[in-house]
Each structure stands twice: as structure tokens, then as C-alpha cells.
Structure 1
Amino acid sequence: MKHPFPDAHARNPVSLPDGQVLQNLVYLNQVIDHPNMTIGDFSYYNSFTPVEDWAGRIAPYLYAGAPEKLTIGKFCQFAQGTLFITSSANHPMRGVSTYPFAIFNPESLGAYADEIAETGDTVIGHDVWCGHDAKIMPGVTIGNGVIVGAGAVVTRDVPDYAVVAGNPARIVRMRFADDIIAALNRIAWWHWPVGKIAEHVPAVSSALEGGDISALRSAVENSTK
């Protein structure tokens, strides 16, 4: 059965039963055009308040031409308050003072670029869910299928399909066994054509009873016949 599937190019993909469009739930790549950001299709952010500058809302320290980038995969889900604190938020730490004197002079604004670049890019995998007020710190990589608990402060890389919570965030549990995680990454349903995903929404959404991913494997096999 093929399920209704939102248009990847829709700004506001969710409507309530009464027809009201949720104006503050947006597909991020439809409202952000930023040279330092790459955002996959169907990744959304839900804000409780109106937003004029979505790039500034999710990553306020990332300016055009900054030495770092923010990359977000497909089908990610970001709750109210999710914040990506990228490397340009850092102050200089090699000198006696951490006061950022250089930022007050346009000619020396890039003086800390090399030091900032050492922290690296922020990379979010596919199908990642970040709960209310989650904060992702500079240079962190979050794997596919990760769940970040509400209020968590993620300071280090998170492996695929982990659940993390707390400040600093720690792994609470792994969602699946290692062999299932490896299989899910090979299947990579988020890269399927939209029509195929729509056809197999029950398989993508269903619980993996006893680690059974036969429905997803069948979808892959059928597409190659």
C-alpha cells in the first residue's frame, strides 16, 4: 500500500485535520540558503514561535564564509530549541585571554579562522531525532538513526542508532544490535526513491521484532529484480 507522502519542496509539509497549516514546522532546505550549510530532503524543524531567519535560529554562530560547515542528512527531525553551536562560537584559547579582540575589527575578523577550523565541521546523519532544547556542540558527528534526548548537550561523536541523553550527553542504550545496525546502514532506506519509500512506509515504521528486518530486505531485493 502506498502511503501519502509530503512534497520534498513544500515549505510547510504538515496540515491539521481542520486544514490549518503548521507555519512553524518547516523543511529546512526550503527555508535556508546558506553557503556553509547542506541539508537533506525531508529534514524538518518545529518551532513554537515565528522565525524570520531559520539559519540563524538553528545555527546562530555559523556565518557565510566561516571555516566550518554544518551538514544535515535526510529525514531528520528537530524539536523546538534544537541548536547547533558550531565552531565559530569558540573564543581564542591559545593566548593569555579568551577575549575575542579580533572580531571588533573587520580587517582582523578572520584571525582565529585556523584555530576554529581545527574543531571541524558539525555533521548530522540521516533519520536523526533531536528532542526539545537539544544542543549539539562544535565539531560533533552524529550517526544515522540517533535519538538525542530533550535538553541533552552533545559534546562528542555519537555512533549510529545510539540513544543519548544528559549534560554532557552519554549513551543510554543502543537501539539495535550491531548486526542489525550494519544491515540498516546497508539498506539505507533514506536514499530510496520517494515512491519506493512511500510504498514501504509500514516496513520503515514498524518495530523490529526480534531484530527481524525481512520486510526492508525484501524491498531492496524486489527493487533489483
Structure 2
Amino acid sequence: MPNSFPPPHLRHPLILPDGTTHIGTVFLKAVIDHPRIEVGEYTYADAFDPPANWAARLAPYLHPQSSERLVIGKFCQIADGVEFITASANHRYDGGSSYPFALFDGGIGTERASLPRPGPDTVIGNDVWLGRRAMILPGAQVGDGVIVGAGAVVAGEVPAYSIVAGNPARVVRQRFACRTAERWQALAWWDWPIAMILEHEEAICGGDLSVLEQVRPT
């Protein structure tokens, strides 16, 4: 077990073998201050060209005045190029034109006919791995423990502990049998104190549910 673990409010938590800080890796909770984004502790993101504004890089269409939210759980892993296309990016497409006339004459924030109605939140569970250049579409609900393949385009509801890939993303396989996935969710190790998580790192990463169920906090 390591001697220490970086706190979730640390901007750059990754120290390279030569002792330098890897500026392309950040704990998102430390770098995002956006009224419509909620990020859990220890969730990190990587970028080969680190942006000055991580919120704008990850969710470029989510504005402070947007009605929807982007919610990301704890201990998620977000690779370079991942993008969340939130509901504010939508155009109305149920009529004769999708052109947003109201955007160009001061009609933002009104109920103009050329603007779509407010859309749903986008929610990412805990311990989710989003592969490089994955795109998460408006209103996606990604369950705990999901792995999203590189370049996948994800919409709708993704079951917990599944692996999805492709465009549109489809479930490739389940990581565990249904009952086992339910046990992992009930365990909710991501809510444990970090010291306890590190103490049981081998059991968590090795999948030893029997040990974890015996030691979990009551």
C-alpha cells in the first residue's frame, strides 16, 4: 500500500518517476468550477494538450445558464478527447426547420419557437472508464462500473458493469453476472474512506467480493 494518496482537491495528482508533475492529468473536482457540472472525488481526466478551461473542453455546449446538468461520479477515468454533448447543444427537429433563429436576435433563454425545450441531465456513475474520444450524448445515463470503448458514441441508458463500444454504442458484454453486479453496487466501495479503499486495493482490483463484503463499513 502506498504511503500517501493525493487529496481530491489537488489539481495535478500524478507524479512521474523523475519527480515531475504530469500537467495533463487532473482531478476534475479541483479544476472545474461550473454551476451546471458536478464531479465526484478522485475522478480524473487526461489531455495531451491540457486546456485552461476543463469544463469547456469536456462539455463545450454546457453554459452557466443551461437548464441541464452534467453529473459525474467518484473515481471515474476520463481519457483524452472525451466529450459530453449536453442537451443545450440540441436544435429543434420536430418541425419544418432546425435553424435556431432566436440565437441571433437576443432570444436565448426565452421560449421562442425555434428553440428546443430544456433537455435532460447527463449522468455518469462511479468508477466509469471513458475511453479516448468517446462521445456522450445528451441525457445519457451511464451506470456504475461501465467501460466505454474508444470512439464510442453513447446515448440512452447503459447498464451498470457493462462494456459498450461502437457508433451507436452497443453492449459488448457484461463485466459480471447480474447478481454479482448487484453485489458490487451494494458494496459501493467508492463511498468508503480513501484509507480503507487503499487498504483493500488488492481485493477491489482483484474482484474479491467475499472479503470486501466482510469489511465494508456498516
- Interval containing the TM-score (normalised by the shorter chain): over 0.9
Q: Does 1:216 align with 2:215?
A: no
SS in 2 for 1:8: coil
| Structure 1 moving runs of 4+ over 6 Å | none
- TM-score (structure 1 length as normaliser): 0.91
State the partner residue of 1:115: 116
Task: Report matched runs for 1:15-26 at 5 Å.
Answer: 15-26=15-26
Q: Give the root-mean-square deviation of aligned CA atoms.
A: 1.6
- TM-score (structure 2 length as normaliser): 0.94
Q: Unpaired segments of 5 or more residues in structure 1? A: none
Cα drift, residue 20 of structure 1: 1.4
**Paired positions, count:** 216
Q: What is the rounded CA distance, in whole Å, between the counterparts of 1:50 and 1:177 in structure 2?
A: 38
State the partner residue of 1:105: 105
Deviations 1:66-95 (Å, cap 9, x if unpaired)?
011000000000000000000011012233
Q: What is the rounded CA distance, in whole Å, between the counterparts of 2:161 and 2:30 in structure 1?
A: 27
- Residues 112, 200 of structure 1: alpha-carbon distance in 2 compared, 3 angstrom cutoff: farther
State the partner residue of 1:160: 160
Q: Is the contact between residue 82 and residue 132 of structure 1 (CA under 8 Å) also seen in structure 2?
A: yes
Q: Does 1:9 align with 2:3?
A: no
Cα drift, residue 2 of structure 1: 6.2
Deviations 1:106-135 (Å, cap 9, x if unpaired)?
3x1123598342x31000000000000000
Task: Report matched runs for 1:120-199 at 5 Å.
Answer: 120-199=120-199
- Among all aligned residue pairs of Structure 1 and Structure 2, give the percentage whose two residues are the same amino acid: 49
SS in 2 for 1:71: strand
Q: What is the rounded CA distance, in whole Å, between the counterparts of 1:125 and 1:187 in structure 2?
A: 14
Q: Which has the higher helix share?
A: 1
Q: Is the contact between residue 88 and residue 116 of structure 1 (CA under 8 Å) also seen in structure 2?
A: no
